[in-house]
Every structure is written in C-alpha cells, then in structure tokens.
Structure 1
C-alpha cells in the first residue's frame, strides 16, 4: 500500500456497499454520483484489489469488499468516538498546558494565576519549565511549550508574538544604612565606590543593565550574579552590595521593609513583562482561559506588590 487509506474514500465505499447504489450513496453522504465513483475507484487502485462488482446501476461486494466493509465500519466508528472524546475534552478544558517561564515569574507571578486556573479547570494538567526569554522562544518554536511568561526578548522572531502584561522600572536597591538612602539618590561619581548585585551573566536582564550603563560610559563593579530577585533582595538588605531590582519588588509603604529604592539616573531603565505565543496556533479552551487570567491577575498583582500588599505567592 503506497499511502494510508483516505477516510473520505472509505466512507464513500461503505455508503455504496450498504445501499447497493452509487446514486443512493451520493445522496447519503452528499456527494455527486461521479464523485462517489471516483472515490471508490481510487480506493480500489490504492488497495490493489476490486471491492465492488458493478452490474448496471447496482453494485455488489467482492470477497475483498466484504472484508473491508466489516473492518471499515469499525474504523469509522472508532474515529467518530475519538472525535467526540476530543471535542468533549476541549469543552471541559481537559488536556494539558505546557508553560515556560522566567524563574522570577514562577515565584512572584504564576502561583496566583495557576491557583485560579486550577479551580476553573481541575481536569487540565500543566507543567512549567523555567526558562530565560531566549530559551522560551526556542521552546515555543520547537513546540515543546504552549505559552511563556517572560520579559520581552531583546530579539523577537517574526514567528513569535509578545503580549505585554505590565512594564517595570529597574532601580538600585540599598539597605537603609547605605549612604544613598538618606537623599534617595545615587551620585554618578559614587558608582565606582560600590559593588553591585546583578542578575546572572548571559541573561537578557544582565545584558539590558550592561547596555544601559555602557551607553552612559559606566562599568559596574560586580560582586555577585544571582539567579533570582529574592536572592538579590536579601543580600542587598544585609548591606552586602547594591542590588538592581524591579521597582515593584521593593514596597514603599511596608514599615518593616529593609530596602530603599533609588533611581538609576535621570533616564529610567524600563522593560516589559508579558506572554509569548507562537503565531498561527489555535489555542484550546483551557489555554485561552489561562491567557485571560494572566491579563486580569498579573497587572493587579504588580500594583498590590508595589503598594506593599499581598505577595503573588501568598495563599488565602
């Protein structure tokens, strides 16, 4: 057999076999009589055996045709049952959702979204793969992830769509005992006096910060490169170095907050967080609901954190 059986040809054959007539078969499956004849002839040619004996306007089964009729009925019934099962799963939001996310999104943003998603779609499983923006793009293009929550990639391929959820400003984060905390400013001449806590080298966050200061003729002395916002927060709070963090990660109203946010300079450094999806895909019900939850929950979450409200990972 040179190719797989065409289901439309099999359906036409079964209609003829059951009605004994090409004309009646055409009426049943809403095709013209010549189209039914061509479909059956193509199936016979593909299988290499005659399936029907034509006598006038009537058609009767050959031995091979009788065998195919019994097996073909089962195949079409199984196909119809599978279609119904898949459609039912789609209606109920079953299936799985494969996410790629920046580690900071895993800690601060996704838990609240996934809690709501799980309540609405308990039958839908999900997985998360921690990934940088660049890695997330690759996961989407390789079809090993459906959605990614990351900062906007510095280089965005034409095949990938970015939908912004919120914009953040990066700031210096210093302990309350740091000299900069008094006037809440960092004198440009002071930058060479202090060591800095930055995101991991090679990450897009690191590259973004490096570009910002290089454009201003500055090169920071790096104490440590850390993989999470929380790690930088803790070390900066202990006075071990000057962190560079999102403004929302340093609440301005919490009395117990040990960090002070200082602008990087006259021109702020901003970046966007959002969702990456592959263009041309048709997301299912559960994925569409997840995207909508991200749009409604994440911006509100960031506003609450900036005010010193509930954490993204807090429970009820």
Structure 2
C-alpha cells in the first residue's frame, strides 16, 4: 500500500464515517462521481472490497473496518500536518474566492469590510469563469462569483444580481458608427467575442457582422481604455462604462432605455449545513452585497 495516495485514503475515510457516498462527497467537497471513482480505484489497488453497496448506502466490509481502524487517525494527523506545513492549519477560517478581475476589483473588493467577517481570511483569484468553476469543483476555490450559470455536479449556485451592458465608442467614432456600425473595428475581451455576440443578439437580433478585431485583451478595464483611445467600439458593463461616459471619453450611440443584462451567480460546492461556516458566512454577505 506504499503507493496509495493520502487523498484516496481521505476519501475512503469520509465515506466510511458518513455511511454513504453522498455524505462523503458533502464532507470533502467533491462530486459523488469523483468520490466513487476514488474509492473504486483504492479497492482495485488493494485487491479487495472496502464497502458493501446497497440501495440504502454503503457499509464497511470486515477488511474495510480493519483499514479504517488502522489508518483513520494517521490520515487525520497527516492532513493536519500538511495544512500546518503550508500555512493553512486554520483553513476553516480562510475562504478562497474567485471571480472576474473587473467585477471583483471595482464592485466587490472596494466594499471589503461590508462582507468579509473579521475572523475570516480571504484569498482572491482572478480569472475567466470556466477555469474558476473548474477550480471550485476540484476544491481549489470555495466561492466563485460567476458570470454564467454553473452546470457542474456537486456545485450549487444562486442568482445574486444583474450586470447591464452598454455599447460604447470614442467621440471621434460616433458619427461613423451611426452611418456604418458594422464597419467599425471591435475591441474584444475574448477571441470569440462572447460579450459582443450576446449584446448583438439582444439588441439587433443577429450576430455581429465580420469586423476587424485589432486587439483582444482579457481585462475589460484595458478594453475600456483602448476603446476610449479610438481603437474601436466595444461593449462594457455599465459599472465600468459609467466614469468614461460621465467624462465624455466614451459615448453610447444607442442610449437604450432597457439595455441588455447578464445574471451574476454566486457558486459554491454542496456541503452539509454548518460544515464550512466561514464559507457560508462570506457567501451570505456577498449575496447581500451583490443583490440590488
């Protein structure tokens, strides 16, 4: 058993103590399919079954009980030692939060003291939604402010607000937009133009026409600056566009009364109530902050 991983043993112990794969997955924050696969891989490695399975759950075999008695305390001690070695011995008081750099930097983090409990340490990671949700599913993150609806097993979410979008151009390009909107270059956040395409479908009921995209940059703050410099038109969330519009650095040539919107979600792994009190506290306060 010298090659058996600590993670596999920890998964086995969680299922054994919970009495079910569902309970074990809630305990350690992994999906049921991942937990089942880890237990089955451990059984194959050991060469004998650890659980008897039934419609009511799982129960330990004789050899499973022996293994739990032998390694349970040692694995608990090893996990604690590993946490201390990486400075995370108080990880129950540390919450790992992910989200878009712009939304977190401009909306969430400036109001840090309104939603971050004093006794909780916050570790923030910026990134695109798909990658952040993958890290949430794997346990690398505890909470994700998501700009798309999560569709991952073992992850729960709640809508917490909406972001509205506005099409903007530099003042010197406003006249050209009115006469030939499809002829203007586009400044994009992503090569696939997800924000632009969503806006075009909502407002014009079609895809954007093929246009030159002189630059893509995965930060909407840089996109706003490039648009203000006259590089091309773009679409921005109103919280980011507002200061540019107020100072005249950017113009909204459409001035829609009912601009397109996108729902913001707060996502976390499913867990039993009270299992992660720090995560639950931060999630509740963030939800209150983001709701209109």
TM range (shorter): 0.5 to 0.7
| Partner of residue 104 from structure 1, selected from 102, 105, 113 | 102
Report matched runs for 1:54-133 at 5 Å. Answer: 95-118=93-116, 120-121=117-118, 123-133=119-129
TM-score (ref. length: structure 2) = 0.58
1:99–1:129 contact (8 Å) kept in structure 2: yes
Number of the residue aligned with 1:170: 165
1:144 corresponds to 2:140: yes
Long gaps (5+) in structure 1 = 8-41, 48-74, 83-91, 301-316
C-alpha distance after superposition, 1:117-139 (max 9, x if no partner): 44x32x32221222222112211
- TM superposition shift of 1:108: 1.4
Per-residue deviation, 1:228: 1.5
Pairwise CA RMSD = 4.0
Alpha-carbon spacing, 1:219–1:254, altered in 2? closer, same or farther (3 Å) = closer
TM-score norm. by structure 1 comes to: 0.54
Q: For 1:264 and 1:156, locate their aligned partners in 2 and report how far apart those are by CA, in whole Å.
A: 34
The 1:157/1:267 distance shift into structure 2, 3 A limit, reads: farther
Distance 1:269 1:219 in 2: 19
Does 1:289 find its partner at 2:281?
A: yes
Are 2:194 and 1:200 equivalent residues in the alignment?
no
* Matched-pair contact (CA < 8 Å) for 1:133–1:204: no
Structure 2 partner of 1:260? 251
Distance 2:183 2:245 in 1: 29
CA distance in 2: counterparts of 1:158 and 1:136, whole angstroms:
15
Deviations 1:93-150 (A, max 9, x none): 96210111112223212313433344x32x3222122222211221121111110012
Q: Which runs of 5+ in 2 are unaligned?
A: 1-11, 18-61, 68-72, 81-89
Q: Secondary structure at the match of 1:179?
A: helix
SS of 1:107's partner is helix
Local SS of the residue matching 2:242: coil
Structure 1 residues 164 and 263: alpha-carbon distance in aligned structure 2, compared to 1, 3 A threshold: farther
Q: 1:262 to 1:290 in 2, by over 3 A?
A: farther
Kindly indicate whether residue 267 of structure 2 is the aligned counterpart of residue 276 of structure 1.
yes
- What is the Cα deviation at residue 211 of structure 1? 6.4
Counterpart in 2 of 1:51?
Answer: none
